[in-house]
A = this chain, B = another copy of it.
């Protein structure tokens, strides 16, 4: 019996991984709006019903893909920070994160976009583990802002992190859609750097 349970758990785990992999590739290729249970099931070679043995609903599967995307972004940010030497100003680290964010969005536009699309379309409460993944990403920024203004309350630091993230996101997001009122797509990185420097300067050096 124990052996049987183990085999079932392993099969379940293998199906889970295969579904995440298939959904990840579908979203990367065609975007979140094109994702259906039917296409993912067909990619994996299982029944549509089998998906719901592993995930509560399609949102659960999408959240698992987003979780993978956040882990990727986290690695990119960590790599970008490792290139900033310790004797440089913390502002250089903020710039490095901003540029890593631009590049990630440009390299994985549909996976990146799915991070925000899901939050907008679902009324579902985000589970703590997924919330924690977002918080982990913000930790990079929070640590640097604390260096820039150690006397500030955590609440204030969070406000600034949210504000800087939203501002950078706005430039990247409008720019990638190539609306003519947006920053031209080939200038996004340069302009994000200008924005991060200007905002940091306005917030911390006055």
Q: Which residues of A contact B (CB under 8 A)?
A: 116, 119-120, 126, 131, 134, 138, 159, 162-163, 165-171, 173-175, 177, 179-183, 187, 191, 194-195, 197-203, 205-206
CA–CA, A199 and B203, complex, Å: 8
Question: Are B199 and A198 touching (Cβ within 8 A)?
Answer: yes
Residues on B with C-beta less than 8 A from A162 are 181-183, 191
A171-B170, A174-B169 as given contacts; A134 in contact with B180, CB under 8 Å: yes
* Cβ contact of A202, chosen from B131, B169, B170, B201, cutoff 8 A: B201
Q: Given the complex, which residues of B lie within 8 Å of A200, measured CB to CB?
A: 202
| Interchain CB contact under 8 A, B202 and A198 | yes
On whether the beta carbons of B202 and A120 are closer than 8 Å, the reply is no
Query: A187 contacts which of B126, B159, B167 (Cβ < 8 Å)?
Result: B159
Distance between Cα atoms of A179 and B181 in the complex (Å) = 24
Cβ contacts under 8 Å, A166 to chain B:
167, 170-171, 173-175, 182-183, 191
